[in-house]
Chain A
Amino acid sequence: MNDEKRDVGQGGSDVLGPTYEAGKPDAPDDWRKKLRSREEMLGYLKTACRYWYSDDWYGSERRKTRA
């Protein structure tokens, strides 16, 4: 399927249809196992989960009172 459709804000968007490999994964992609040490885990929390755990990055609340 290659179907150009209209979206709410921007006009045309291209829907490609299934372009992925067929079949099912044998095991879940447990991304959390990629973080092995406590340092890596804390580092991830401070960057990826900066919304709650970073000292200097609060997204839209960055310029406001700290939570």
Chain B
Amino acid sequence: MADEKRKSIDPAVLTLVEKAAADEVMLCWDRLDEQSPQCGYGIAGVCCRNCAMGPCQINPFGDAPQKGVCGVDAETIAARNFLRSIAAGAAAHSDHARAVVEAFIRTADGEIPGFEIKDEQKLLSLAMDLGVSIEGKDTAAVAKEVGKTLREQFGRQDGELAFIAKAPIKRQELWRAQGIVPRGIDREIVECMHRTHIGVDQDYKNLMKQASRTALADGWGGSMIATELQDVLFGNPVPIVGSVNLGILEPDQVNIIVHGHEPLLSEMVVAASRDKELLALAKEKGAAGINIGGICCTANEILMRHGIPVAGNFLQQEVAVVSGAVDAMIVDVQCTLQSLTDVAGCYHTALITTNPKARFFGARHLEFDEANPLVAAREIVTIAVENFPNRKRKVVIPTDNKTDMVAGFSHETINYILGGLFRGSYRPLNDNIINGRIRGIAGVVGCNNAKVTHDEHHVTLVKELIANDVLVLQTGCSAVACAKEGLLVPEAATRYAGPGLAEVCEAVGMPPVLHMGSCVDNSRILMAATAVVKEGGLGDDISDLPCAGAAPEWMSEKALSIGHYFVASGIFTVFGVTWPTLGAKHLTEYLFSGIEEELGGKWAFETDPVKTARLMIDHIDQKRHKLGIDKARERVLYDMEKRRELET
């Protein structure tokens, strides 16, 4: 990219991109330049390397070759690749969930010092979901049974995943009719790998059926299990003020960045950073204190439960190190760049891996021992403190780039805010959708992608949506992008939102863009949508709602899994940047159109964020029209005589 400013809209990032160039440090944008032009067959999704007769590529423009060595065509290749990506995404979320379940059971058994059942109410709700009796049982006993029941969700061979029953009734019926209700989470993922092996499933529609079942095993299975149990262990999120962007780094303090996705260790790192002995050691080393910042979804987890500041999103992990002010970066799983070892090697930053599933060659590994997580956390903080005097290059902290935000809008908290303690309810939201003050709801989620200007598509899309009275629910790196722009504070309603949405936000005292957590917490969006359906007045199914989803800067396989469980749950979902099946005409048409007849939701692809907003708003308006709430209607007050007429 010739124009440096096109790399990001974030001045903090641009400042540190300049510093990286001066320090001769290579960043993701430089590597993208080296990789360009990228393989067209790969981009179009029509390269198959699933057997040793290949790799085979299909010409997407109609010339030869049109078949692989085994006879496979473009539709099957692209469908298999798409399904494998969804399997990988679902596996990532679900293996995260498995780690949480295991820690949860050990916590219930009293085996993990420092961990406890923090949210008994959430535990009770899970017991009711799972049919676990609570009579005569203390919290630990209920937790043990809930944990064991949820652990069985991974390996069950038949029946239905338990949380499927939380969906609207009509949606459950549709899934059963389509034969896509997930059985065990692991079973669905294994079946994806079997079906995509050479010589197995060669029907793109049948492959997409398994894609739906696997994605549902993620959204209503793995991701939901992770979210629910993390809430029980660390507390259901409530609104909390935090700050965001690289300006949160402190020049005179030990800066520790926690990066990745699982909150298990980072919770303990936060606790260790408050330890008096370690604070005294920091002072001894010349630091004024210990400052923790988060990147990626770990950031979202500790932000919404502790108000710990967010240093940035996915594409800020390298530049955070380039600041020269990060004394240690701790990574666990998912979205951590291998280049961090190279970048950290140019500065003094100690890069520490903590998860046996995710080790970096050249990084220090300190395994997270569940039996005593505080010991590992203290050791990590000690390494960072000891490293503070070793800052060897110029420190540049973009101190002006720090923005306030409000995080922590779990679906339970939205219910409480709208209805209060004695009658929590989604009624006010439904009423304001029906009366038109709120036009609809959008879930805008997902990653950053170096192929598009960092954060620009998230921010442009969300501003356009709220200006058109669409309430936006966010998670993950997308939420961080918009938080940096100042959209996640109540004041943003007056400044950016349309009149109806602004009026509702003012009345409730909430931002027009609600932070709902990390990427596994997209399951909270499913639950919020279900609550809106069940409250009534907006149809019987999620697919009836005036709502839409988007991931305008997606890059990970997890995003594809999320997108597909949105679609399979009945939500119109638009992805930007690139689309992985463009070389397969019929499959793409099916995903963008035909699948809607079966699932009520469908995919779309659009690279322009303003046009993406238009697609979403048009869809919302169509749904409003179908519900008959697109026009103001005269209010009719019924007297008794009219009521009797109605009854007859």
Contact = CB atoms under 8 A, between A and B. Distances in A.
Contact of B169 (A8, A49, A61): A61
Interface residues of A, number: 45
B165 A34 contact: no
Contacts of B436: 7-10
A25 B241 contact: yes
Size bin of chain B's contact surface: 35 or more
Interface string B97-129: 000000000000000000000011100110011
B534 A61 contact: yes
Contacts of A67: 165-166, 169, 172
A38 B169 contact: no
A60 B506 contact: no
A31 B416 contact: yes
B437 A9 contact: yes
B509 A29 contact: no
Contacts of B494: 1, 15, 17-18
Contacts of B534: 51-52, 58-61
A32 B498 contact: no
Interface stretch (B3-11, B422-430, B567-575): B422-430
B172 A45 contact: no
Contacts, number: 145
Interface in A30-54: 30-32, 34-35, 38, 41-42, 44-45, 47-49, 51-53
Contact of A13 (B239, B240, B503): B503
Contacts of A1: 494
Contact of A47 (B128, B165, B423): B423
B413 interface: yes
Nearest to A59: B534
B297 interface: no
A30 B238 contact: yes
Interface string B428-460: 000000111101000000000000000000000
Contacts of A64: 169, 540
B632 interface: yes
Interface string A7-31: 1111101111111100011001111
B216 interface: no
B120 A38 contact: yes
B238 A31 contact: yes
Contacts of B629: 9
Given A10-B437, A18-B494, A47-B424, A31 B413 contact: yes
Interface of A: 1, 3, 5-11, 13-20, 24-25, 28-32, 34-35, 38, 41-42, 44-45, 47-49, 51-53, 58-62, 64-65, 67
Interface of B: 119-121, 124-125, 128-129, 134, 165-166, 168-169, 172, 235-236, 238-241, 307, 404, 408, 412-413, 415-416, 419, 421-426, 434-437, 439, 469, 490-491, 494, 498-500, 502-503, 506, 509, 530-531, 533-540, 624, 629-632
12 contacts: A7-B503, A9-B434, A11-B632, A15-B494, A15-B499, A20-B490, A28-B239, A44-B421, A51-B426, A52-B166, A64-B540, A67-B169
